[in-house]
Structure 1
Amino acid sequence: MLPKVNDLVYIQVASADNKEADKECKSRIADIEDDFFLIEMPIEIGSGRIKRLFVGDELSVYFLTDAGIKNYFNTYVLGFVDDVVQLIRIRKPEPESITKIQRRNFLRVVAELEIAVRLKDNTRFVAHTDDVGGGGVSFLCDGKFKLTQGDQVYCWLLIPYKNGSIEHAPFEAEVVRTKKLETGKTLIMLKFASISDMERQKIIRYCFERQFDFRNR
């Protein structure tokens, strides 16, 4: 079951800032196409302020059925359309992905991307990721690099998109876990400690592209 034109939708925007992530906005479905919804500019509930969205923003959305049941889905911002008022284009979810349970975790996908890492002692090396997501990444590195839980690292992630463009996303992260592998490599799991919204959006956009690649195989 999908929302219909003129249905109200309630939105929360994925953010590392818990205060921002907890803010709820409301909008309305203005039009429906094959692969996307067009929604009106969201309004923050309580303050009445317009919530500005950006391409790549990951959204947790719910709408109400006639019986008052909340139906949740995750989506992201594809772009904008100038009509009488500006509308926002968001990815239409697969009907089977709609659930009565809210899922607000950042999307995470398996991906082997090049990542440059600088440690606090200024040691530098290049590695490859094991997975990436809007909340953090994990990568494989040589066991000679001694990283432990709580260490801070500075990274630059190379992100290739389907259209052939390449972006770099710099960020600071904290090591949350390490795991020695039989290959002699070490798996380093990171969560973002400091990353701009623009850089996070680059990673989320890549994750959604990868997710749709997997789904269409």
Structure 2
Amino acid sequence: MLLPRIGQTIRLTFAGSSEDTSLQTFKSRVVDMKDEIASIELPTSEETGRTGLFGAGAVCEVWYVGEDGSRYEFHSSITGRRSEPIPVLFLQLPPKEEILRTQRRNYLRIDTALDIAVKLEDPIRNYHFVARTVDISGGGLSFTCDESFRIQDHDSLKVWISMPSKTGQVQHAYAVVEVVRQKPAEKKGLHQWISGKFTEISEQDRVKVVRACYERQLELRKKGVVE
């Protein structure tokens, strides 16, 4: 399995370290690796932008997205810290066989309504419209739209995705989506349902989508909506 590399952005969820941080995701970056220890920047909350107090022994779940677009995760703990030349925490690295990998075909799919712009370039069906997703994952998405758009299986759609974050910033991703299923509206006047897979997407934009899915999952878990 793939260990994080130097310069890798990672996310950490601290379990039971305190009431304030137990359900927050913290962002950090690997600055050095030696033996079984990674030196990481002081983690900052993606919700508040502030760092936390993480002493030796603090237990956490770590996840990151590899160059292949897969999500990797492992159980870890903080073993110490250093203040000079820059403040860092020491993160215990697991044996490679203990790192879990989520394959591309098994991306976490989250029910969420995101604004998207959709474009179909066709000599007859030259559409450009806005819609909202029904669900999304690192491998594809589903959305609904007016039945007047005559979208068919295997159509290739250009899709621009708008993903707001907890900090109020909006990130955008672009993908080419192949329609794998089109479900007509059940009644006249209702929307049709379109499901598709990403056939073209940069790894940078896929990372944005995967991250948005897991942030949404954490948000739902915090509200008690999902286990």
Deviations 1:163-210 (A, max 9, x none): 110011111110010112325211100100100011111111110110
Do residues 33 (structure 1) and 33 (structure 2) align?
Answer: no
Deviations 1:63-110 (A, max 9, x none): 9xxxxxxxxxxxxxxxxx9999xx9999xxxxxxxx9x9753111101
**Of 176, 195, 198, the match for 1:192:** 198
**Using the alignment, how far apart are the partners of 1:116 and 1:130 within structure 2?**
14
The residue number in structure 1 matching 2:2 is 11
**Of 154, 157, 162, the match for 1:153:** 157
**Using the alignment, how far apart are the partners of 1:119 and 1:133 within structure 2?**
21
SS in 1 for 2:2: strand
The residue number in structure 2 matching 1:110 is 111
Once the two structures are TM-superposed, the CA of residue 134 in structure 1 deviates from its matched residue by 0.3
The residue number in structure 2 matching 1:215 is 221
Do residues 134 (structure 1) and 138 (structure 2) align?
Answer: yes
SS in 2 for 1:145: coil
| Kept in 2: contact 1:12–1:59 (CA 8 A) | no
Once the two structures are TM-superposed, the CA of residue 214 in structure 1 deviates from its matched residue by 1.0
Larger Rg belongs to: 2
**Using the alignment, how far apart are the partners of 1:82 and 1:207 within structure 2?**
34
Give the AA of the match of 1:214: L
Give the AA of the match of 2:171: E
| Kept in 2: contact 1:38–1:88 (CA 8 A) | no
Deviations 1:97-131 (A, max 9, x none): xx9x9753111101111110000223101111000
**Using the alignment, how far apart are the partners of 2:109 and 2:84 within structure 1?**
34
Q: 1:216 to 1:62 in 2, by over 3 A?
A: closer
**Using the alignment, how far apart are the partners of 2:84 and 2:108 within structure 1?**
31
Give the AA of the match of 1:207: C
Question: What is the 5 A alignment of 1:38-187?
Answer: 53=66, 58-61=70-73, 104=103, 105-121=106-122, 122-182=126-186, 184-187=190-193
SS in 1 for 2:131: strand
Q: 1:89 to 1:182 in 2, by over 3 A?
A: farther
Gaps of 5+ in 1: 1-9, 14-26, 40-51, 64-80, 91-98
**Using the alignment, how far apart are the partners of 1:181 and 1:38 within structure 2?**
39
Q: 1:62 to 1:110 in 2, by over 3 A?
A: same
| Kept in 1: contact 2:176–2:198 (CA 8 A) | yes
Give the AA of the match of 1:106: Y
Q: What is the aligned-residue identity percentage?
A: 33
Deviations 1:13-66 (A, max 9, x none): 9xxxxxxxxxxxxx9465863444499xxxxxxxxxxxx957xx6424579xxx
**Using the alignment, how far apart are the partners of 2:89 and 2:138 within structure 1?**
21
**Using the alignment, how far apart are the partners of 2:156 and 2:193 within structure 1?**
16
Q: 1:103 to 1:120 in 2, by over 3 A?
A: same
SS in 2 for 1:211: helix
- Give me the TM-score of the superposition, normalised by structure 1: 0.59
- Give me the TM-score of the superposition, normalised by structure 2: 0.56
Give the AA of the match of 2:58: E
